[in-house]
Structure 1
C-alpha cells in the first residue's frame, strides 16, 4: 500500500522494459511518478478484476463503450425502470437532513426518498447541494480531497494502421489488436511526471494506443480505423494565467510526436481527432480536475476513507443520498462495483 511501483517491480523483475510494461498500470489515471509512494497500489488496482472468469483480464465492448450502457438500459426497461436523458440536475433538495428529490435545470421537481449520485463527490457536495445543508466538518473533508489524474485523451480517425518501425507493415497484425504502450522505462515515466510538474505537460508523454476497430469493424469504414490515445502526464491545474484551452496544441504536438517516433506514418494518416484535455474532461464529463477516477487513488482516499474518512459506506451525512460512482469504494475502473455495492445498501434500507 505504501510502496512505489519501482520498488515493488524491482523485487520481481530485472529487465527495464518488462518493468515499464507493468509500471504503466501504476501511472494510469495517476498524476505521479513510478517512484511515488503508493503507486504500487495503483498498479495492483488495475489487475483486480476479471473477465469471463479470467482474473486480471480486460475486455473490449463490441460496438464501443456505449454498448455497455445500452445493455444496462435494456435490462432496466425490462424491469419497468423509466430512463430519462437530457434531464440535467440543477440541485438536490434537502429537508431536515434528508433528501427529498432533485430539481432539474428546467425547474421540474422530481421527488424521491433515495437519490444515488454518480457524479464526483466534490461536485455533489459543492455544486448540487446548498452549503447550509452540508455539515461544516464534512464540507471541509470534501474540500480537502485531491483530484486530478494527469490524463489527456485523443480519439483519432486514421486512413491506415500505424506502421511501426519495430514491426513494419500497415496490414493487420497481432500487435495492432493489443494495448501498445509507448514508455520504454520507468525513468521515462518519471521524467514525464517531472516535466508536467515544472511546465504543465510532459515533453515526451506516456502514451497507450488502442485500435478498437481492429477487433470491431463496426467502428470505422472499411480500410480505415479509429484509435484512442490515453496519455499521461498533464497537470490538472496549470500555473496562474495558463489555460488548457491555450496549451492544447502544444500537448497534442508532443503526443503525436511520440507516436510518430515509433510509427512514422502516423501523423500523415490522421483524418481527424477529438482532443480532451484535463479541462475538457471536467467541463464535458463532470470529472473534477479531469480525474477519471473521481478522486486520487491514494491510501488516504481508499476503502473507509473513500471519498473521505468515516464515510466509506456509500453515503454521506444526508439521509437517503448515496454515492454510487468511482468516488466510492473500490474506486475507478470500469467494474460497476461502486454501483452494485451502493444498490445493495439502498435495498437494505440502511
Structure 2
C-alpha cells in the first residue's frame, strides 16, 4: 500500500528531526534564519563594510533571480559555501583543462566500467507501457529499451515535455506547473589578447586568478534586480569574471587568455513579448562595457566571444528559463520537496523512472551528489 512506500521517507525525516533536536537552541534558531531570511539581513549581523557584504552577498543571487534583500537568499548564499576542493572546505577549484575535463574523466571511468555513451542523440520522449517507464525514443525515431530510465534534466522538462500529460500522475503535473525556474543569468566566454588591467588594482597579481565581482554594494545588486524586472535586463549589471587561463596555460596561446563573464540580472523571459534573439548582442555589448568601466582597454582586448542568453541556455542545454539549478533553491523546493514530497528519493513519478540532476537533493553545483545518491537507489532496485 501507499503507507508502506512512505515508510523509508518517514524514517529519514525522523532521523533528521533527531539530529536537529540535538543542536543547541541557538544553532536551531540560526538554521531557521538561514532558510528564511535574506542574505542582506544575515550579512548585516556579521559585517559593516559594504564591499565585504557585496562580496558574500553575490553568492545569494548568483543563479538566483532575486534581490539580496529577498527572504530565502541567505540559504542560497549558504548553498554556495557548501563543499570543498582538494580537501579545503568552502573552497572553489579550477578544473585543469577546463570544466569539460570533469565530464571527460567521468566518461572514461564509465566506459571502463562497461558503459556505452552516445552524443547527438536527443530524446524525444520517455516510453511508457502499463504505467512503467520502459525506455526512450530518440529524435531520430530509435527506440531503446531499458530496465531503468535515469533523467538528468530539469524535472519540469521531464514531466512536461518528455512524457505525455496522461502518463504523469495528476499531483506531479500540478507540482510541475508551479515548479519555479529562472536564474536571471547571462553567460559569456571571451578570448582576450591580454589580461585586464583594473583601475582599483592595476597590473598583474593574484587577484586576477580569483573571482572578480563587479557589484560594489547590496543596494547595487538590488537595483540590478529591480531594473531587470522592469526593463528586461539591468543597465548596471552584476558581473563576475573568472580568468582560468591564469591558472591553466593549456586554455589559451602564450600571452593570451580566456575569461568567463557570469552576469546578472536579466529576465528569463523578456517583458512585452520581446525575444532574446533580438537583444542578445545588445546586452553582450553592455556586459563588455561594464567591465570596460573598471578595466579600461578591456573591450579592445576581446578577440572573440560566445554569448548565451537565458533562451540560448534553454535551447542548448535544456535549462528552462536559463535556470542553472534546474529549479529555484527556495525552501519549498529543497530537501524532501525537491522535486516534490514523496519523490525526493530519486525515484520518479513512474516505476522504472529515476532523476539524478540538480532538480533533486541537494540541488545545483558541481558536486556529483545527486548522481551519486541516485545511483545508490537504482542499484537497490
TM-score, length-normalised on structure 2?
A: 0.90
Structure 2 partner of 1:206 = 238
The structure where helix makes up a greater share of residues is: 2
Deviation at 1:316, TM superposition (A): 2.3
Counterpart position of 2:101: 67
Q: 1-side partners of 2:273 and 2:376: how far apart? A: 46
Alignment match, 1:127: 161
Q: 2:172 aligns with which of 130, 133, 138?
A: 138
Residue pairs, 1:245-324, within 5 angstroms: 245-324=277-356
Quick one: distance in 1 between partners of 2:320 and 2:274? 18
Q: Render the CA deviation track for 1:62-107: whole Å, top value 9, x for unaligned.
A: 0011111111111111111111112211111111221111111122
Q: Which moved more, 1:157-166 or 1:304-313?
A: 304-313
Once the 2 structures are TM-superposed, how far is the Cα of residue 138 of structure 1 from its aligned partner? 1.3
C-alpha separation between the residues in 2 aligned to 1:165 and 1:48? Answer: 32
- The Cα shift of 1:9 comes to 0.3
CA contact (8 A) 1:301 1:309 kept: no
Inter-partner Cα distance in structure 2 for 1:137 and 1:78: 40
How many residues end up aligned between the 2 structures?
347
Q: Distance in 1 between matches of 2:317 and 2:222?
A: 28
In 2 relative to 1, CA 308–240 (structure 1 residues): closer, same or farther, beyond 3 Å? farther
Instruction: For residue 29 of structure 1, give the secondary structure of its aligned residue in structure 2.
Output: coil
SS where residue 57 of structure 2 aligns? helix
Specify every segment of 5 or more residues in structure 2 that has no aligned partner in the other structure, as ranges: 1-34
Task: Give 1:249 deviation, angstroms.
Answer: 2.6
Superposition deviation, residue 309 in structure 1: 2.9
Are 2:182 and 1:148 equivalent residues in the alignment? Answer: yes
Structure 1 residue 242: deviation in Å? 0.5
Deviations 1:201-232 (A, max 9, x none): 00111100000111111111111111000011
**Larger deviation: 82-91 or 283-292?**
82-91
Greater RCO structure (CA 8 Å; 6+ sep): 1
Compute the RMSD of aligned alpha carbons: 1.0
Note the alpha carbon deviations across 1:113-161, whole angstroms, 9 max, x for none. Answer: 1011001111111111111111122111111111000000110011110
CA-CA distance at 1:250 after TM superposition:
2.7
Distance (Å, rounded) in 2 between the aligned partners of 1:223 and 1:271: 13
Partner SS state of residue 240, structure 1: helix
TM-score, L = length of structure 1: 0.97
Aligned equivalents of 1:212, 1:17: Cα separation in 2: 24
User: Residue 173 of structure 1 corresponds to which residue in structure 2?
Assistant: 205
1:253 Cα deviation from its structure 2 partner: 2.5
Partner of residue 152, structure 2 = 118
1:335 corresponding residue in structure 2: 367
Write the distance in 2 (CA, Å) between the matches of 1:305 and 1:321.
Answer: 18
The answer to which of 129-138 and 272-281 deviates more is: 129-138
Indicate yes or no: 2:192 matched with 1:158.
yes
